[in-house]
């Protein structure tokens, strides 16, 4: 939809100044934007490794879950796809792989956002070629995003919900494209959505030739730094350096060997510890601790975009009462929860908002709050009072507790079952089911309590406030509603002033604490380990593993 | 003989068809949505009923069960064995690529079980209740009792932490690189072979103890034959019949056990493919692999039956 404000007046050029302002969202935390970006002219911006000693050559052997159920990155929600496919594709804009956070140019060398937040204009690089030799133009960007925003029937794209405000996608010329929003969205939110690692740019022709569905198309052309060489299902994906890559400095390594090694598995740990891979991602804690002790190895931890939680069936009587839900929330000792799985999966304590987000309650403050204290006595006392006030002083019996058949959920379920019994005399029967069945049970409301994990694409609350806690939200398995919260979330999603948005979060947290839609059990972390010959990536500040898996700035100190 | 063969072949065919029907039906009535694996947790939660209808149609799951079954039989007849639900790889290619590894593991484990089990059984039988017999019985019970996957994990961890060793990550066929191939298959083969060897040791011991008391053995001794000749030439061949029978049964255990052992060793064989396909609910792969395993099991049992006449001339097929 066209905005009545004249184009010239409406646009605020972002090419250099605003580009740096955008960087400032992340850079502000450090107080200053990185030096290399302050010097950069956005139109000429070419990415390179931070270390001037970076040299080309060598092979990177990367171990990660890499057994996709299909090949359509847009339709995926698992690292199984991005782990193997991300290096072959580019985005419109991207997160800087050197810090994992700053948004920098990619196929768009600059962009502009109108002051009312309703128009995003991207200027594309010229001369960018797909791996099949075709030139990338705005038509490819439009085809890619039309599909993401409005997927055809039978094509399910989890990130479509990030772009609900996108109306028209207009090709102004072959190297300029506009996204016209029907209503404003916060700049950080929208740019974060465009920079999401899932939104890889594919050819319009590829989509046309395959009826808009790439699930069974293994090698479709991208513009990325690496090209497909060969693939053995559930074994390895081999890629080679793209010699025609538009970013002339990149990539450094000549060859990528991406081994399929499942997350948290001893197999991944043993492959790394025996030196069969140079870089391992999503390691189990035991192998990771072993790696940490090894000379010549760096072991890192980063935050992941996943909350582990258990849900209530709000249609069943006791859980319609917020006091009962809050009582269970308070009786769940999160420090114990993290400890219970310390050898299975790395976790951290948190509430309803990403605990490491700058808007959430700081950790020190959170640990003073009931339900998050290291000593749970006060929380349990309060929980008992709430149960009594709700009419359940003697607890609850025979709750059906549906558990996803994964190691951490099974460990937690047993611990939660014991905790609730000991503290509130709430008795539950565990029912362990396969993942595919868990979603059937949760979707059809066939449970009292159900434990699982849910994921978001962005750290911005507007993403997961809608998906996890929103009325009818796709991952609101409890069926929770709270009109004040929904109204607040609605405003948060449309408010373009970041300060006003930030000011809404404490109230949102307060509502969620008192009327919990779920019980946060823990927030996931990711353990990486790499031999020190692998240089050029700092995985400690990444938010999740999905946006920065392209390996273009990585180089090998020894081949 | 021909009538017997025909009858056995018909029984075998009936068994295989029965297995195909059972696995086909069970996979389709089990709870759980295969689209969770296809779309992922997040995508699945955002799928609309209209999307579901299109995807189920594309996967052929909206057809009636008889139509789906006939389509599967047609795929088997064409030799393709159907395609993976999700990526479109054919199951035939999967079996051709990974099957040789699993076959090597099964074959090697059988060889190992005989190499270990038979001498131990003979040793126990010729010195019953002695210390060697006691040790042999203890070890036999131990290896029967220890779950293969657990022993596999111990072996993997011991090799890793003591020697920093891990077997190759990828499928390497024996004709490509025999040394790397051996590193892949030897671990699972030894673990499975030890468990089977324990059964064979116990079976050969008890059979030999029975045979060794027979008149013809006493006669051989009376004629002055040396003890080794009495045992190995006169007693052992006659004691082997039940051992051969149990080897056929054990192959079934190898096929079943290899699923867990391959998983523990991280060997990319068919067993591991089956585990993955089950967790993904890739029902086309599961039904074909189960049928393939059933086919092998039935074929081996027929071969074992046929080998009786060769091993024991008293047996005639009618």
| pLDDT (tens digit per residue) in A68-84 | 889 999 999 889 999 99
Q: Do A436 and B36 touch (CB under 8 A)?
A: yes
**Closest residue in chain A to residue B52, using alpha carbons only:** A154
Q: Do B169 and A160 touch (CB under 8 A)?
A: no
Cβ-based contacts of B40 with chain A (< 8 Å): 69, 76-78, 158
Per-residue model confidence as pLDDT tens digits over B110-163: 999 999 999 999 888 888 888 888 998 899 889 889 888 899 989 988 998 888
Please determine, for residue A386, whether its predicted confidence score (pLDDT) is greater than 90.
yes
Cα distance from A75 to chain B (closest Cα, Å)?
Answer: 7
Decide: A447 and A441 in contact? Cβ < 8 Å: yes
The stretch B77-99 carries a mean pLDDT of 85
What's residue A181's pLDDT?
Answer: 97
**Closest residue in chain A to residue B171, using alpha carbons only:** A235
Mark which residues 117-146 of B lie under 8 Å from A by CB.
Answer: none
Q: Which residue did the predictor score with more confidence, A299 or B312?
A: A299
Quote the radius of gyration of chain B (alpha carbons, Å): 24
Cα distance from A467 to chain B (closest Cα, Å)?
Answer: 9
Question: Which of B37, B89, B170 has its CB closest to that of A236?
Answer: B170
Per-residue model confidence as pLDDT tens digits over A120-149: 999 999 999 999 999 999 999 999 999 999
Question: Which of A75, A276, A437 has its CB closest to that of B169?
Answer: A276
Q: pLDDT tier at B232 (50, 70, 90 boundaries)? A: confident
A261 has a chain B CB within 8 A of its CB = yes
Q: Strand A236-241 vs strand A255-260: parallel, antiparallel, or unpaired? A: antiparallel
The stretch A450-471 carries a mean pLDDT of 93
Please determine, for residue A22, whether its predicted confidence score (pLDDT) is greater than 70.
no
Cα distance from A259 to chain B (closest Cα, Å)?
Answer: 8
**Closest residue in chain A to residue B154, using alpha carbons only:** A266
Cα distance from B7 to chain A (closest Cα, Å)?
Answer: 41
Q: Which residues pair with A169 in a beta bridge?
A: A179
* Residue B286 Cα to chain centre, angstroms: 16
Q: Which residue did the predictor score with more confidence, A58 or B7?
A: A58
Question: Which of B34, B51, B86 has its CB closest to that of A436?
Answer: B34
What's residue A192's pLDDT?
Answer: 95
What's residue A4's pLDDT?
Answer: 32
Please determine, for residue A284, whether its predicted confidence score (pLDDT) is greater than 50.
yes
Q: Do A158 and B46 touch (CB under 8 A)?
A: yes
B227 has a chain A CB within 8 A of its CB = no
The stretch A532-550 carries a mean pLDDT of 87
Neighbours of A139 (CB within 10 A): 14
The stretch B106-110 carries a mean pLDDT of 92
Please determine, for residue A288, whether its predicted confidence score (pLDDT) is greater than 50.
yes
Cα distance from A147 to chain B (closest Cα, Å)?
Answer: 14
Q: Do B153 and A266 touch (CB under 8 A)?
A: yes
The stretch A429-447 carries a mean pLDDT of 91
Cα distance from A16 to chain B (closest Cα, Å)?
Answer: 36
Rounded (to 5) percent helix, strand, coil in chain B: 80, 0, 20
Give residue A419's region: left, alpha or beta (phi > 0; psi -120 to 50): alpha
Q: Which residue did the predictor score with more confidence, A535 or A17?
A: A535
Q: Strand A297-312 vs strand A449-455: parallel, antiparallel, or unpaired? A: antiparallel
- Among A26-40, A178-192, B43-57, the range scoring the smallest mean pLDDT is A26-40
Query: Using CA atoms, how far apart are residues A356 and A186, in angstroms rounded to an integer?
Result: 20
Please determine, for residue A35, whether its predicted confidence score (pLDDT) is greater than 60.
no
Q: pLDDT tier at A3 (50, 70, 90 boundaries)? A: very low
Q: pLDDT tier at A477 (50, 70, 90 boundaries)? A: very high
Q: Do A76 and B40 touch (CB under 8 A)?
A: yes
**Closest residue in chain A to residue B278, using alpha carbons only:** A434
Cβ-based contacts of B45 with chain A (< 8 Å): 439, 474-475
Query: Which tokens is A500 given?
Result: 């006003």
Task: Tell me which of A233, A258, A295, A407 to substitute to probe the interface with B (most B C-beta atoms closer than 10 Å).
Answer: A233
Question: Which of A216, A273, A455 has its CB closest to that of B42?
Answer: A455
Please determine, for residue A33, whether its predicted confidence score (pLDDT) is greater than 80.
no
Mark which residues 316-345 of A lie under 8 Å from B by CB.
Answer: none
The stretch A526-539 carries a mean pLDDT of 92
φ, ψ of residue A520 in degrees (nearest 5): -65, 125
Question: Which of B31, B51, B160 has its CB closest to that of A153?
Answer: B51
A273 has a chain B CB within 8 A of its CB = yes
**Closest residue in chain A to residue B170, using alpha carbons only:** A235
Question: Which of B87, B153, B164 has its CB closest to that of A70?
Answer: B87
Q: pLDDT tier at B242 (50, 70, 90 boundaries)? A: confident
Mark which residues 18-77 of B lie under 8 Å from A by CB.
Answer: 31-34, 36-48, 50-51, 54-55, 58
What's residue B239's pLDDT?
Answer: 86
- Among A184-188, B219-223, B237-241, B269-273, the range scoring the smallest mean pLDDT is B237-241
The stretch A158-177 carries a mean pLDDT of 96
Question: Which of A75, A232, A233 has its CB closest to that of B87?
Answer: A233
Cα A415-A419-A420 angle, rounded to 5 deg = 120
Please determine, for residue A38, whether its predicted confidence score (pLDDT) is greater than 90.
no
What's residue A27's pLDDT?
Answer: 39
Q: Do B42 and A215 touch (CB under 8 A)?
A: no
Query: Which tokens is A245 given?
Result: 């890559």
A276 has a chain B CB within 8 A of its CB = yes
Question: Which of A156, A270, A433 has its CB closest to that of B46?
Answer: A156
What's residue B317's pLDDT?
Answer: 65
Query: Using CA atoms, how far apart are residues A174 and A179, in angstroms rounded to an integer?
Result: 14
Number of inter-chain CB pairs under 8 A, A vs B = 134
Query: Using CA atoms, how far apart are residues B96 and B270, in angstroms rounded to an integer?
Result: 10
Cβ-based contacts of B89 with chain A (< 8 Å): 233
Query: Using CA atoms, how far apart are residues A365 and A363, in angstroms rounded to an integer?
Result: 5
Question: Which of B40, B54, B88 has its CB closest to that of A77?
Answer: B40
Q: pLDDT tier at A169 (50, 70, 90 boundaries)? A: very high
B216 has a chain A CB within 8 A of its CB = no
Query: Using CA atoms, how far apart are residues A477 and A310, in angstroms rounded to an integer?
Result: 9
What's residue B281's pLDDT?
Answer: 82
Neighbours of B179 (CB within 10 A): 9
Q: pLDDT tier at A32 (50, 70, 90 boundaries)? A: very low
**Closest residue in chain A to residue B281, using alpha carbons only:** A436
Question: A255: buried, middle or exposed (CB in 10 Å: 19+, 13-18, 0-12)?
Answer: middle
What's residue B304's pLDDT?
Answer: 82
What's residue B318's pLDDT?
Answer: 60
What's residue B164's pLDDT?
Answer: 86
Q: pLDDT tier at B39 (50, 70, 90 boundaries)? A: confident
Cβ-based contacts of B55 with chain A (< 8 Å): 154, 156
The stretch A419-423 carries a mean pLDDT of 97
The stretch A317-334 carries a mean pLDDT of 96
Q: What is the residue-averaged pLDDT of chain B?
A: 88
Query: Which tokens is A125 given?
Result: 């690089």
Q: pLDDT tier at B181 (50, 70, 90 boundaries)? A: very high
Q: pLDDT tier at A7 (50, 70, 90 boundaries)? A: very low
B160 has a chain A CB within 8 A of its CB = yes
**Percent of residues, chain A, with pLDDT higher than 70:** 92
Query: Using CA atoms, how far apart are residues B36 and B38, in angstroms rounded to an integer?
Result: 5
Q: Strand A426-433 vs strand A396-404: parallel, antiparallel, or unpaired? A: parallel
Per-residue model confidence as pLDDT tens digits over A91-120: 999 999 888 889 999 999 999 999 999 999
Task: Tell me which of B27, B28, B42, B56 to substitute to probe the interface with A (most A C-beta atoms closer than 10 Å).
Answer: B42
Decide: B283 and B27 in contact? Cβ < 8 Å: yes
* pTM of the predicted protein model: 0.87
Task: Tell me which of B45, B48, B53, B277 to substitute to probe the interface with A (most A C-beta atoms closer than 10 Å).
Answer: B45
A270 has a chain B CB within 8 A of its CB = yes
Q: What is the residue-averaged pLDDT of chain A?
A: 90
The alpha carbon torsion through A224, A229, A231, A236 (nearest 10 deg) reads -80
Q: Which residues pair with A62 in a beta bridge?
A: A258, A279
Cα A361-A366-A371 angle, rounded to 5 deg = 130
Q: Do B41 and A453 touch (CB under 8 A)?
A: yes
Question: Which of B88, B171, B282 has its CB closest to that of A235?
Answer: B171
Please determine, for residue A10, whether its predicted confidence score (pLDDT) is greater than 70.
no
Question: Which of A161, A216, A454 has its CB closest to that of B88?
Answer: A216
DSSP string, A225-286: SEEEEEEETTTEEEEEE-TT-SSTT----SEEEEEE--TT-HHHHHHHHTTS-SEEES--HH
A77 has a chain B CB within 8 A of its CB = yes
What's residue A149's pLDDT?
Answer: 97
Which distant-in-sequence residues (6+ apart) come within 8 Å of A115 by Cβ?
A: A10, A12
Q: Which residue did the predictor score with more confidence, B60 or B182?
A: B182
């Amino acid at each position: 939809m066209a905005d009545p404000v004249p184009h010239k007046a409406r646009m605020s050029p972002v090419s250099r100044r605003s580009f740096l302002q955008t960087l400032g969202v992340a850079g502000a935390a450090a107080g200053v934007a990185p030096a290399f970006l302050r010097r950069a002219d956005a139109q000429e911006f070419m990415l390179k490794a931070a270390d001037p000693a970076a040299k080309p050559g060598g092979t990177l052997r990367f171990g990660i879950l890499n057994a996709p159920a299909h090949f359509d990155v847009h339709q995926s929600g698992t690292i199984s796809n991005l782990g193997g496919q991300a290096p072959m594709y580019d985005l419109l804009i991207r997160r800087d792989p050197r810090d994992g956070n700053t948004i920098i140019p990619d196929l768009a060398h600059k962009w502009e956002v109108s002051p009312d937040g309703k128009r995003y204009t991207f200027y594309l690089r010229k001369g960018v070629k797909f791996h099949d030799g075709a030139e990338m133009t705005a038509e490819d960007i439009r085809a890619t995003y039309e599909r993401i925003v409005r997927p055809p029937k039978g094509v399910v794209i989890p990130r479509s919900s990030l772009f609900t405000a996108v109306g028209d996608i207009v090709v102004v010329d072959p190297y300029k494209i506009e996204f016209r929003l029907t209503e404003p969205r916060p700049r950080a939110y929208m740019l974060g959505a465009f920079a999401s690692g899932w939104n890889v740019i594919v050819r319009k022709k590829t989509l046309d030739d395959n009826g808009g569905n790439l699930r069974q198309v293994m090698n479709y052309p991208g513009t990325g730094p690496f090209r497909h060489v060969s693939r053995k299902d559930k074994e390895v994906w081999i890629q080679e350096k793209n010699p025609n890559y538009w970013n002339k400095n990149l990539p450094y390594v000549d060859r990528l060997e991406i081994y399929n090694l499942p997350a948290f598995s001893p197999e991944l740990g043993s492959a790394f510890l025996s030196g069969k891979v140079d870089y391992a991602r999503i390691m189990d804690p035991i192998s990771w601790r072993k790696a940490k002790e090894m000379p010549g190895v760096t072991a890192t931890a980063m935050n992941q975009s996943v909350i582990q939680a258990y849900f209530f069936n709000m249609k069943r009587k006791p859980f319609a009462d917020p006091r009962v839900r809050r009582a269970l929330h308070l009786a769940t000792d999160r420090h114990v929860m993290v400890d219970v799985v310390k050898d299975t999966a790395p976790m951290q304590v948190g509430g309803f908002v990403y605990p490491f987000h700058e808007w959430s309650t700081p950790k020190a403050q959170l640990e003073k709050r009931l339900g998050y204290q290291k000593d749970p006595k006060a929380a349990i006392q309060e929980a008992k009072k709430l149960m009594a006030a709700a009419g359940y002083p003697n607890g609850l019996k025979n709750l059906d507790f549906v558990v996803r058949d994964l190691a951490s959920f099974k460990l937690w379920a047993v611990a939660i079952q014991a905790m609730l019994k000991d503290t509130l005399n709430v008795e539950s029967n565990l029912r362990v089911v396969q993942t595919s069945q868990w979603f059937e049970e949760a979707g059809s409301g066939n449970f009292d309590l159900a434990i699982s994990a849910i994921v978001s694409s962005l750290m911005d609350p507007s993403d997961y406030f809608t998906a996890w806690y929103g009325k009818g939200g796709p991952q609101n398995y409890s069926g929770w509603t709270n009109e004040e919260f929904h109204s607040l979330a609605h405003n948060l999603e449309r408010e373009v002033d970041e300060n006003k948005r930030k000011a809404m979060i404490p109230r949102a947290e307060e509502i969620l604490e008192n009327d919990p839609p779920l019980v946060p059990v823990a927030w996931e972390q990711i353990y990486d380990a790499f031999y020190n010959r692998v240089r050029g990536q700092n995985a400690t500040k990444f938010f999740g593993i999905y946006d920065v898996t392209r390996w273009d700035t990585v180089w090998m100190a020894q081949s | 003989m021909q009538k017997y063969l025909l009858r056995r072949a018909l029984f075998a065919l009936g068994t295989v068809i029965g297995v195909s029907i059972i696995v086909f039906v069970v996979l389709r009535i089990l709870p759980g949505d295969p689209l969770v694996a296809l779309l992922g947790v997040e995508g699945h939660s955002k799928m609309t009923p209209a999307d579901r209808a299109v995807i189920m149609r594309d996967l052929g799951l909206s057809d009636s069960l008889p139509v789906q079954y006939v389509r599967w039989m047609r795929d088997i007849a064409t030799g393709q064995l159907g395609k993976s639900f999700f990526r479109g790889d054919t199951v035939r290619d999967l079996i051709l690529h990974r099957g040789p590894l699993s076959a090597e593991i099964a074959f090697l484990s059988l060889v190992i079980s005989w190499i270990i089990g038979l001498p131990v059984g003979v040793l126990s039988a010729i010195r019953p209740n002695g210390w060697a017999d006691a040790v042999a019985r203890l070890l036999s019970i131990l290896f029967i009792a220890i779950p293969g996957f657990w022993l596999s994990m111990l072996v993997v961890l011991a090799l890793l932490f003591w020697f920093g060793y891990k077997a190759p990550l990828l499928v390497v066929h024996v004709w490509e690189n025999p040394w790397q191939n051996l590193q892949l298959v030897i671990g699972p083969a030894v673990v499975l072979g030890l468990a089977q060897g324990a059964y064979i040791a116990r079976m050969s011991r008890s059979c030999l103890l029975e045979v060794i008391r027979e008149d013809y053995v006493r006669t051989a001794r009376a004629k002055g034959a040396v003890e080794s000749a009495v045992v190995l030439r006169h007693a052992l061949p006659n004691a082997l019949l039940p051992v051969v029978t149990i080897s056929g049964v054990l192959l079934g255990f190898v096929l079943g056990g290899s699923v867990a052992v391959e998983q523990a060793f991280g060997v990319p064989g068919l067993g591991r493919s089956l585990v993955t396909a089950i967790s993904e609910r890739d029902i086309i792969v599961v039904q074909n692999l189960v049928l393939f395993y059933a086919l092998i099991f039935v074929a081996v049992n027929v071969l074992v039956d046929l080998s009786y006449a060769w091993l024991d001339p008293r047996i005639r097929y009618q």
